[in-house]
Amino acid sequence: MAVNQQNLTPDDIEDKENIVDRKDKIIEECEELWKQMEKYQQDIVLAGGERLNSSDSQLTLLMMRLKSLTAECNQWLERTPDIIPLNPENLVALGKEELQKLDHDLEMLLSTTQSKNQKLQEDLRREQEWLNEQKQLIASLSEIYKELKNQVIPVSEKRTLLELKTKITKIRRHREKLLTSMGEVLDEHFPLPEENGSKKRKRECQPNAQLMTMHEILELLINSLLHSAHDPYVKINDSFWPPYIELLLRSGIALRHQDDPSRIRLEAFHQ
C-alpha cells in the first residue's frame, strides 16, 4: 500500500479527495431528503384526518398533488448535476455502453428485417407456384388447340356438334335445377332474421344493413373462388349475418384469412 501511495500523482490525490467530498455531499443530501420525506408523511397523515366534502374532494387531492410535484420540481432545479470526469476510463465505459445499445438496436432491426424477408419469400414462392400452374394450363390448352386445328373435320361433325349442344343444354338445365333446389333448401332452413320474427336475432343484426341470404353468400364465395383463384377471399361487411359466417367457419365450408380475420373464402373442395 505504501508503494501505491508513493506512486500517486497530485492529480490522483486531488481526484480521490473530490470523490470523498462528493460522497459526503450525497450522504448529506440523502439525509436531508429523508427528513423532508418524514415531514411530508406527517403532513399527509394530519391532512388525511380531515374529512373532505364529496364536492371538492377531487379538487383538493389534485391541489395536493400539484404542490407535491411543484416541490419536487424545485428540488430538482436547485440540484447541480454531477459532472463525470472526462478521463479515458469513463470515456471507454460510456463508449462501451453506447455500443451495446447500438448493437441491441441493430439486432432487433435485423430480426425484424429477417422476418419480413421470410414472409416475402413465402409470398414469392406461392405466386411463383401459381404462375407455373397458369403456364402449364396455357401450354396444355395450346396443345389441345393445335391438335383440334390439325384434325380433319369429318362429314358427321354436324351430328356430333348437335349431340354436344344437346348434352350441354341438359347439363345447364340440370345445373339450374340443382341451384334452384339448393336455394329453396337454404331459404327454408336458413332464413334471414327478419323472416322468422325472432326479436332476439333482430337485435343482433345491424339496424341499417341489408342482410344477404345464405344462398347469396355461398354464391358470392363460389364466384370469387372460380373467377379469382389467386385471391378468392371476400371482405366481410355489415350485409353478412354473423351467425351465418360462424356456421360456415365451424362446418369447414369457409376459411378465414390468416392475416386479416375480416376476409373469408370458400374451401377448395374441387382440388
Q: Count structural domains, the chain.
A: 3
- Same structural domain, 130 and 205: no
Q: Is residue 59 part of a domain?
A: no
Cα–Cα distance measured from residue 170 to residue 167, given in angstroms and rounded to the nearest whole number: 5
Q: Is residue 39 part of a domain?
A: yes
pLDDT band at 12; cut points 50, 70, 90 = low
Query: How high is the mean pLDDT of the chain?
Result: 77
pTM: 0.35
- Same structural domain, 267 and 189: yes
Confidence (pLDDT) at 136 = 92
Q: Please give the angle made by the CA atoms of 186, 189 and 190, to the nearest 5 degrees.
A: 65
Residue 256 dihedral angles phi and psi, to the nearest 5°: -95, 145
Q: Is residue 1 part of a domain?
A: no
For residue 19, what are the domain limits? 14-46
Per the CB < 8 A criterion, the answer to whether 264 and 256 are in contact is yes
pLDDT tens digits for 117-149? 998 999 899 999 999 999 999 999 998 888 877
- Same structural domain, 182 and 263: yes
Confidence (pLDDT) at 2 = 38
Confidence (pLDDT) at 131 = 92
Confidence (pLDDT) at 200 = 47
Q: Is residue 202 part of a domain?
A: yes
pLDDT tens digits for 157-173? 778 888 899 999 999 88
Nearest to 225 by CA among 204, 246, 196, 253: 253
Confidence (pLDDT) at 138 = 92
Checking if the pLDDT of 53 tops 70, the result is: no
More confident position, 10 or 133: 133
Q: Please state the rounded mean pLDDT for residues 174-196.
A: 76
Q: Please state the rounded mean pLDDT for residues 85-108.
A: 83
Per the CB < 8 A criterion, the answer to whether 219 and 190 are in contact is no
